[in-house]
Structure 1
Amino acid sequence: MRAFKAEVGTTPRRWLDAQRTARARELLETTDLPVETVASRSGFGSVTALRVHLRAATGTTPADYRRTLRR
């Protein structure tokens, strides 16, 4: 774990959460998949987990994030 943090600059858990959130954002931006499917395909165990991580990263919910990008 120390080697990972030294190399990447963060903990494995935070890195994984960031990767999952980035994938979810990509799917929300480029597809019309339901939020449940986006959560599953990006590695979150639930829509609630996706919502928590996306809100922390962007300040908004998955539905609002998608709506904002489509304006």
Structure 2
Amino acid sequence: MLPSRISFNEHIQPILSASCYHCHGPDSGTRYPEDEPLRLDQEEGVFSARESGKPVIIKGDPDN
């Protein structure tokens, strides 16, 4: 059952840490893709426009 309010630090961060940070986290030696590394541990990396011109995640629009 989902909580009434989702907390990034309590609910999302642990999933990213366990599943994503090895390739998309703070360690520059393991970040992927090498030509345009994606960082999921910093807000700037998640919401900034990528080479395609679009961000990885559109803030406030979880369906996209």
TM-score strictly above 0.5: no
TM-score (norm 2): 0.29
Choose between structure 1 and 2 for higher RCO, CA contacts under 8 A separated by at least 6 residues: 1
